[in-house]
Amino acid sequence: MEITKSSISTPAIKNNEKNHEEWNSRKSAELYGINYWGSQYFRINEQGHVEVTPAGLNGPALDLFHLVEDLKERGIRVPILLRFPDIVKSRVELLNGCFAKAIEENKYTAKFCGVYPIKVNQQRHLVEEIVEFGQNHAIGLEAGSKPELMICLAMMDTKGALIICNGFKDEDYIEMALISQKLGRNTLIVVDRYSELKTIIDAGKRLDIRPKIGFRTKLNTPSSGRWAETAGAKSKFGLTPSEIVRGVEYLRAENSLDCLELLHFHIGSQIPSIQSIKAAIKEGARVYTELYAMGAQLKYIDVGGGLGIDYDGSGKSDSSTNYSEQEYANDIVATLQSICDEKHVPHPNIVSESGRALVAHSSLLVFDVLGTNEVQIQVPQPPLEKDSRLVYDFWEIYRNVSRENINEYYNDLIEKRRDILQLFTYGVLSLDQRAKAEDLFWATATKMMSFAKNNKDAEDIYYALELELSDTYFCNFSVFQSLPDSWALNQVFPVIPIHRLNEKPDRRATLVDLTCDSDGHLSRFIDAESGGEQNYLEIHSLTPNQCYFLGVFISGAYQEILGDMHNLFGDTDTVHITLTDHGTYKVEHVVEGDSVRDVLAYVEYQKSELLELVRKSAEQGIAGGSISRSEARLLLELYEKGLNAYTYLRENI
Ligand SMILES: *Cc1c(COP(=O)(O)O)cnc(C)c1O
């Protein structure tokens, strides 16, 4: 892929007069909506740089731009994944604080016991941090597979904290969970499919260990958000009402009904609406009280995950939430309380499996822009006599289009644009005439866009032109490796420059990544003004010989482990940064990203073999006289150096 850096600017979009208007950090904050999605952790400082404030806006602050410059001096390479354990700590405190408050205010008579579902981000340092920060609150861990359980068993030693076992289970998984009780672990095995129940009881007998069992119930209450289908009667996991009734009878017959300690449900991730959450809790609470009535004296209700993050600050989209963490806790506690009180059932301890809500804010990706393709708009010249009919047609549209006739002329414009290519391929239009026609197309589109702006009758046109007229910024990262949900689910993440925010952004762009995949781009951005989405990002022109850094925020949940090596772009360098009270910071861990050699080894190419093959070809070349000895040596040196290098591009500045 060729990357061009063109510096000629486009006078039409870049309204020069406006450009000189006063701009400052506050205006950038409004434009990018950082005060909404930044949730007290991110803001823009006077210098026009993004700052991170892990303990809230009154706590210590760190300038992200200076941090990235410092890290680069230490040899850490962009793209960099920055992790802030202090934010994890804040989130753990926040969630526990919200439940503690709700429990106290409602005089609820049982405890909150959070568990972190490690599938959300299994990185060791992060799991260690959660266990450490969660010690005072007895935060436990949730596993969804055997390998995850193995992590939980090794990492979890907080007294009283739970280990919840979900997911598909075989005998090995179940036996491991059972034996872990002998180590003093409070491990609960959740029956996700009915057939697991017998396997658990049999294994318990074999090992002579009383299992601690949970039932996962399917809920019929409709969910909301992107994962709405994961809940409901057809969901992959969970027992139907009839299986629950049968399960209780089976346990009673096995003299093991006292082993049933927990009722579990999970209605999907990133639930945007509190109404859905409340409705699900109601149904779950009723199942709980019914189990009690059947003689099962459970201790816990596990409300699963789903606590959402406000990725766009709108409060109304699927990437947002219409509730706060406190409202979430209040509604869960109050609903459980009223339903249990009504049926005279003791209040259950509340387990939640919030993953996204604990870790999403704690990482962000910083990458640099390598170059741009800017839409080039020439000042249009009237056609000459020898010019083609098509050029004349464009000129007519350009001259005559107005606010009133924009709909009619827009259709004309699009039709004529199609003609350009057709006439060119038929050999009727010369390259010179094609160039003229295209220049006029861009000029007309720009003029039309100014008429379509804020024009209710031309909203669609504005939307289409906006996309057409935005620049392309080539960025040093891979969507597939670092932001898979943006590709797979159209999830919107906040993306903004981390510096130059006291300059007015004078371009509109979509961002493309390094992969050769046409899906490798970011083209949905937060429109802070309307609370919706827009298909371009307001961004600055590149300054020659200066790096331009963009940050993708709130990317700590799910992205790292779902990321893949499309085009063999590997893991990025990752650093863990903690802040001190006096405005300095400490690099806790540096996790070096993949080298080319690492990613090649994943697909079974070993360094030594590759070098050997290239060396052989070089020897043949020397023998045949096509390459000199010194050229061959240079080739091998470059090849070996390349194998040890980062998979991303080196900054060209
Ligand atoms: C994925 C998952 C979670 C985590 O959900 P979040 O929305 O990230 O909090 C919790 N519980 C179960 C069973 C899950 O599968």
Tell me the per-residue pLDDT of 124-142, one tens digit each, with 9 for 90 and over: 999 999 999 999 999 999 9
Q: Is residue 383 part of a domain?
A: no
Q: Is residue 652 part of a domain?
A: no
| Cα-to-centroid distance, 161 and ligand 1 (Å) | 18
Ligand 1 neighbourhood includes 356 CB (under 6 angstroms): yes
| Cα-to-centroid distance, 119 and ligand 1 (Å) | 8
Residues 533 and 610 in one domain: no
Domain's final residue, options 571, 591, 611 = 591
Residues 431 and 510 in one domain: no
Q: What is the DSSP letter of 526?
A: E
Residues 324 and 194 in one domain: yes
Domain's final residue, options 467, 491, 508 = 467
| Cα-to-centroid distance, 238 and ligand 1 (Å) | 14
- Are the beta carbons of 618 and 636 closer than 8 angstroms? yes
The pLDDT of residue 380 is 87
The pLDDT of residue 8 is 33
Q: Is residue 236 part of a domain?
A: yes
Q: Is residue 7 part of a domain?
A: no
Ligand 1 pocket mutation, candidates 116, 130, 142, 359, criterion most atoms within 8 A of CB: 142
Residues 310 and 231 in one domain: yes
Residues 455 and 480 in one domain: no
Residues 490 and 545 in one domain: yes
Ligand 1 neighbourhood includes 120 CB (under 6 angstroms): yes
Domain's final residue, options 424, 446, 467 = 467
CA distance 263 to 51: 42
Ligand 1 neighbourhood includes 485 CB (under 6 angstroms): no
Angle between helices 241-253 and 274-293 (to 10 degrees): 30
**Would you mind telling me the total number of residues written for the chain in this entry?**
653
Residues 120 and 266 in one domain: yes
* Three-state secondary structure call for residue 492: coil
CA distances from 356 to 249, 274, 304 (A): 36, 16, 12
CATH code of the domain in which 415 resides: 1.20.58.930
Q: Is residue 408 part of a domain?
A: yes
Residues 513 and 437 in one domain: no
| Cα-to-centroid distance, 241 and ligand 1 (Å) | 22
Identify the residue whose C-alpha is closest to ligand 1 atom 5: 305
For the question of whether the overall pTM of this predicted structure is more than 0.95, the answer is: no
* Three-state secondary structure call for residue 130: helix
Amino acid identity for residue 242 in this structure: S
Q: If residue 241 lies in a helix (H) or strand (E), which one and from where to where?
A: helix 241-253
Residues 125 and 272 in one domain: yes
Residues 535 and 404 in one domain: no
Ligand 1 pocket mutation, candidates 148, 266, 301, criterion most atoms within 8 A of CB: 266
Question: Which residues of the chain are under the pLDDT cut of 70?
Answer: 1-21, 229-231, 652-653
Q: Is residue 91 part of a domain?
A: no
> Which structural domain range is residue 308 located in?
108-353
| Cα-to-centroid distance, 265 and ligand 1 (Å) | 10
Give the position, in ligand 1's atom list, of the atom nearest the Cα of 270.
Answer: 7
Cβ neighbours for 322, distance < 8 A, ≥ 6 positions apart: 272, 273, 274, 315, 316
Residues 137 and 64 in one domain: no
Q: Is residue 381 part of a domain?
A: no
Residues 136 and 57 in one domain: no
Give the position, in ligand 1's atom list, of the atom nearest the Cα of 271.
Answer: 7
The pLDDT of residue 5 is 37
| Cα-to-centroid distance, 366 and ligand 1 (Å) | 27
CA distance 231 to 336: 20
Identify the residue whose C-alpha is closest to ligand 1 atom 4: 305
CA distance 89 to 105: 24
CA 70 from centre of chain:
26
Task: Please state the domain count of the chain.
Answer: 4
| Cα-to-centroid distance, 598 and ligand 1 (Å) | 31
Q: Is residue 651 part of a domain?
A: no
Tokens standing for 96? Answer: 């526990």
CA distance 597 to 433: 49
Ligand 1 neighbourhood includes 309 CB (under 6 angstroms): no
